[in-house]
Structure 1
Amino acid sequence: MTEITPVVPVDAQLRALADRYTSASSVGMQLLNIVGGQAENLLEKLPDSVKDRLEFVAERALSSALMAANKSRGVVPDQKGWFSTALTTAMGAAGGVGGLPSALAEMPVTVTVLMRAMLAIAKEHGFDPDDPDVMKECLMVFATSGPLSEDDGADLGFLAARVSITGASVNALIARVAPRVATVLGQKLATQTVPVLGAAAGAAVNYAYTSYYQDMAHVHFGLLRLAEDSNTPREELLEGLREALARSKVTRL
């Protein structure tokens, strides 16, 4: 006898995605409790020479990560989410030991590991990691503001964005995403260079960012899967996600 898989109502799936979104966003507060300070002040801790280069560094990191992560799939099999978290946490500790120079050197590697983890999550939700459109969706996950941001509206806007990634348009997309990523990476660098904490701060910040972006990737590709399975426009589901988040906030209050 064939076992029938029960169909989960769309509203219930949206509530589950909202819960995951909320859980991902709460990581930032945990991070701030570890390192101290306020998110808006973190960037001011960086030298002006570094702040001026952040957007360029972000573009380079995203470009190299996109190519390296996809190519590595033919050599190294996909790993579980906990492995990516453990790996980036260890790299963050190493990057934090030497202050800003070692943190800058570690950053592109961490972005590549995150990109690779996102591709694995896309596959988990039934999408082809080799599809250029799926790679574009991974870039859009990077466009979320990061765990230190409270700009939920902008994050959800990026979740709904649809941009062609064929040909040269990938560079245009990276350029569009880079300012967001530059802010996130700047916060990450500043946190890793917190005096005294060193390696501990580096490990903490990478743990937080890896957990955040993997959760956001699950929300992103979960929303895409729900759109396809329910034949519902993504914009309509996005509004449902906003409403579920609003109800969740009221319940917590």
Structure 2
Amino acid sequence: MTEPQPPAIKLTSAAMDELREAKDILEHQGLAERLTELVGAPITASMKLLPDSAERLIYSAVEKSLQKGLDLAVTSLGKDDNLATKPRLLSHKVLAGLSGAAGGSLGGLTMGAELPVSTLLILRSVADIARSQGEDLSQLEPRLACLEVLALAPGPAVKTSEETAAEDDNTDIGYLAVRIAMGKQISDATKYVAQHGLANRAAPPLVQLLNMIGKRFGLIVSEKMAAQAIPVIGAVGGALINTYFIGHFQDIARAHFTIRRLERTYGSSAVTEAYRRLV
């Protein structure tokens, strides 16, 4: 059963400013653009130079990362005793940078070990941001919403069937369409885990959730790997890339959970309609 929605209320000018900033992040600020500025070369061009084996490496690393991320989200993401009032963004960036230094010095060879570490750091940072925006992380749905952030980052266009249907209806393609698609997966996974836990990881609700996240997260990881594959990057560049990587998802999380907070205040229909009207 879905939670009752508050009655729709007109957003204040301050709320509209928050929503406008969130939309700008969620629709326009892709990781590839950031990394292109950092390394001084188009990441999209570098992606074409990756060997065929890179796709298998990325898929394996993403799958491993999301399995660990699901474990974290379900078992311990809301149980941190250090309930800081402000998210610990800098400390997570520093740890991600240290993790990326090793990956940068060895190119993509360490991705299978490095990406799961980076992903868990991202999720812990996202949880801090969610908590600072009023999310109750003692509940399973907000914890899975933290995992959902990995699928929300702008990147190369890969559409789910729900997004394609939305396009056919001339509605927004992007954050809103992904959230609509992810909403059912999050709901189904929440119900399943509440009843059965993680004993059967091959259960359709869990597989479908991770597959949907994996398709979108894998594209962002491909951009990251393309940047790290540039020969001049090295360990220092690897650390910077990982810092940009986690910072990118921190921005997405801040925007996403800002919108969820506004929805709790003004109602989801009012926020959705205001989001669509923003240019």
For the aligned pair, the TM-score class normalised by the smaller chain equals: 0.7 to 0.9
The residue identity in structure 1 corresponding to 2:65 is: A
Structure-2 separation of matches of 1:58 and 1:112: 12
Q: Which amino acid aligns with 2:42?
A: Q
Q: What are the ranges of 5 or more consecutive residues in structure 2 without an aligned counterpart?
A: 1-9, 159-171, 193-202
Aligned residue for 2:277, secondary structure, equals: helix
2: CA distance, partners of 1:76 / 1:106? 26
Give every structure 1 segment of 4 or more consecutive aligned residues whose post-TM-superposition deviation is greater than 6 Å.
Answer: none
Aligned to 1:4: none
What secondary structure sits across from 1:100 in the alignment? coil
What is the match of residue 216 of structure 1? 252
Kept in 1, the 8 Å contact 2:100–2:238? The answer is yes
* CA gap 1:240/1:11 in 2 versus in 1, 3 angstroms: farther
Shift of 1:177: 1.3
Kindly report the root-mean-square deviation, in angstroms, between the aligned alpha carbons of the 2 structures: 2.8
Is the CA contact (8 Å cut-off) linking 2:103 and 2:110 kept in structure 1? yes
Aligned to 1:99: 107
Once the two structures are superposed, what CA deviation does each residue of 1:112-166 show, in whole Å capped at 9, x if it has no partner?
11011111211111112232211221222111245x6589932342244412122
Where 1:126 maps in the other structure, the secondary structure is coil
Q: Kindly tell me: are residues 215 and 45 of structure 1, through their superposed partners in 2, closer, same or farther at Cα, counting changes over 3 Å?
A: same
Q: Answer whether contact 1:43 1:51 (CA < 8 A) is retained.
A: no
- 5+ residue gaps, structure 1, are 1-7, 247-253
Partners of 2:100 and 2:43 in 1: CA distance: 19
Compared with structure 1, are the counterparts of its residues 56 and 130 closer, same or farther at alpha carbon in structure 2 (3 Å cutoff)?
farther
Aligned to 1:116: 124
Is the deviation greater in 34-43 or in 202-211?
34-43
TM-score (norm 2): 0.73
Distance (whole Å) between structure 1 residues aligned to residue 213 and residue 139 of structure 2: 19
Matched, 1:16 2:18: yes
Q: Distance in 1 between matches of 2:133 and 2:48?
A: 39
Where does residue 5 of structure 1 map in the other structure? none
Q: Which residue of 2 aligns with 1:82?
A: 90
| Structure 1 position 154 matched with structure 2 position 174 | yes
TM-score computed with the length of structure 1 as normaliser: 0.80
Deviation for aligned residue 1:20: 4.3
Question: Does the C-alpha gap of structure 1 residues 240 and 149 become closer, same or farther in structure 2, counting only changes over 3 Å?
Answer: farther
- The code of the aligned residue for 2:220 comes to V
Structure 2 CA distance for aligned equivalents of residues 75 and 122 of structure 1: 13
AA in 1 matched with 2:174: A
Alpha-carbon spacing, 1:203–1:73, altered in 2? closer, same or farther (3 Å): same
1:142-221 residue pairs with structure 2 within 5 A? 142-146=150-154, 149=156, 153-160=173-180, 161-163=182-184, 164=187, 165=189, 166-167=191-192, 168=203, 169-221=205-257
1:15: how far off? 2.3
**Identical columns (%):** 25
Contact between 1:21 and 1:216, CA under 8 Å: does it hold in 2? no
